[in-house]
Chains A and B, each alone.
Chain A
């Protein structure tokens, strides 16, 4: 932001202070995440920057923690306990739960959004409030409620139970994103399709679906990342068999904190950047096909 020529000295000072403040806040948001990345390449088992690292000595850096993360252990590796590889199996589990629950959540959430966007839907506001409520109710309460209930219906410590629980958490995101893509949806398109002889199902898949697809995908991404990172529910309703990646991180933070956690964190940060980019591209595409151009 270039300042106009007529600004006074006071305004200039104020402006630079303001910019400095904003930079500080943005820095506050991302600095911790950025600090993780170099530290994950440390060669020591400690979680702080050594003077050697700061002087960029190549010996101070290593990829031993990435090896440990992926379960590759050298002979010279003194810490061998890290090699029974709970990280990889945990990631696999998380991926499995996240994928299954995302598919379910996307399907159910889209149904709900389609119904709720119908102008004749009765009790719309109340149902919408209910559909969104899993986002608002604290996870600890959801988890406690589910723990009691799932124990009663024999769903605790099962994969099915966790997938169902994650579906509940993911559904509101899909409802929100699909509803917002439906706001600008021109209903006369559907009537035109019907007029041209399409059955309602055919019309849905040919006309409506491509238009709400960006909403569905971004909702699905939210649902996926929520399930993939979820920690509270799994602590309450998961047994030792349901050892997910967040759980591994949790026990890592609480018990044997080592730089392996940082290498996992680095990969997850990169993963989130990837997701974010996908989402941004989707949003642009959605705006383009709905004829809304960014100004």
Chain B
């Protein structure tokens, strides 16, 4: 009061004589800076170890540099070729120079890549590379002597698919399409079609699991929300216990339950519902994937619906009934619409977790329960077709990010709660 009574018209001053506005701005800036300083270390950590690795993987899905670096002269000669006449001596010489200059491991990797464009390239390149040291001009004869397939112009023509440093080929492969020699997108031959089926199956499994979870979760969530706290806490343990148990433990447990001599089949046979030679096969197939995934993801559905139901005052239902609605009508018209945010949160959560599942289908899915995640793993670890694995991963990630964005818009991720 005593500091600045004279300056009634002027700006309001603090005790130090600085205008209040400037002082507040300064403190705001400092508070902002402090918040930023706190967030920066974890954010950098995340960017370096999570965002960059995934971004890096995404670039791999379009990258076709290696082959261009290994066979530069070949591609030059290919550009000069009219694609009609027989390959000329100059073209063979270019291949000879490239193969002679390149490292052995590079040739190996490049030949694997070439094999994706046209099966046969790998053995052709490897066999030729082995004999390259002894070759003398004219190279055309020497090459044909090494392997007669060099006469086949389709190998030469297939170079056209690989001549750019960036390619969308892996993406097309991931949806059962491929390039023809003129770089037009065409369907894969029927015997090589696998991925579209897997994409559809992945979506189908995720949708079935989401619906199954919703049907099972909704009544239970309602029960938990309406029971007195003491009882519902006890039942909540049933919901949370699987949530906290190791995934592999749950899978082992389901193997015991669902196998041919498992608990479920034994019980059904003992009860006389099934005959002994008619046991249900519920494991290592499509059914196994569905059953196990539903149980594993059920808590993800129960918890959001429960937390929304918890906030709905029970008096609303009573009021509706008081106004003449039957209990069913009151439930459908008054209660259910209010639980939609919970249903939405649960469904999106279950769907996005289900669509990227890998471990469960791998262990219990057998042949017809495999999902796209298993294909990503297969190409990462077995076939080593990393471009294709990266392309499939990118498509999957894109789908999930769209749902994540929707989730954030509708529910807000800050509302995500654990347990």
Contacts and interface: CB of A to CB of B under 8 A. Distances in A.
Interface of A: 1, 11, 18-19, 21-22, 25-26, 28-33, 35-36, 39, 47-49, 108-109, 111-112, 114-116, 118, 120-122, 125, 127-134, 136-142, 144-150, 164-165, 167-168, 171, 173, 175-177, 179-180, 218, 222, 225, 228-229, 231-232, 235-236, 246, 249-250, 253-254, 257, 261-262, 264-265, 268-269, 272-273, 275-276, 279-280, 283, 294-295
B327 interface: yes
Given A35-B263, A118-B31, A149-B56, A26 B249 contact: no
Interface stretch (B92-100, B117-125, B352-360): B352-360
B298 interface: yes
Contact of A236 (B241, B380, B390): B380
A229 B253 contact: no
A21 B380 CA distance: 43
A140 B229 contact: no
Name the prevailing secondary structure of the B interface residues.
Answer: helix
13 contacts: A29-B242, A33-B242, A112-B38, A112-B42, A122-B32, A127-B43, A133-B50, A140-B376, A144-B393, A177-B418, A253-B255, A273-B241, A273-B244
Contact of A231 (B31, B37, B359): B359
A6 B325 CA distance: 16
Interface string B203-234: 00000000000001101100100110100010
B56 A145 contact: yes
B357 A138 contact: yes
Interface in B316-350: 327
Interface of B: 28, 31-32, 34-39, 41-43, 45-46, 49-57, 60, 216-217, 219-220, 223, 226-227, 229, 233, 235, 237-242, 244-257, 259, 261-263, 266, 295, 298-299, 327, 352-353, 355-359, 363, 373, 376-377, 380-381, 386, 389-390, 393, 396-397, 400, 404, 408, 413-414, 416-419
A133 B259 CA distance: 36
Name the prevailing secondary structure of the A interface residues.
Answer: helix
A125 B416 CA distance: 13
A251 to B, nearest CB: 11
A111 B38 contact: yes
A218 B417 CA distance: 12
A-B pairs, 3 with minimum CB distance: A138-B356, A115-B38, A149-B53
B413 A276 contact: no
Contacts of A257: 255
B413 A128 contact: yes
A60 B389 CA distance: 48
Nearest to B244: A272
A91 to B, nearest CB: 12
Contacts of B396: 138, 141
Contacts of B251: 253
A49 B261 CA distance: 8
Contacts of B256: 32, 35-36, 39, 47-48, 262
Given A29-B239, A108-B41, A115-B36, A137 B248 contact: no
A269 B249 contact: yes
A35 B251 CA distance: 12
A49 B194 CA distance: 39
A270 B50 CA distance: 33
A250 B248 CA distance: 7
B47 to A, nearest CB: 8
Contact of B393 (A141, A273, A295): A141
A33 to B, nearest CB: 5
A138 B245 contact: no
Nearest to A21: B219
Contact of B35 (A48, A120, A125, A254): A120
Contacts of B229: 294-295
B328 to A, nearest CB: 9
Contacts of A120: 28, 31-32, 35
Given A273-B241, A276-B244, 16 more contacts: A25-B217, A25-B298, A26-B220, A33-B245, A49-B263, A137-B356, A144-B376, A144-B390, A145-B393, A148-B56, A171-B45, A249-B246, A249-B252, A265-B249, A269-B245, A272-B245
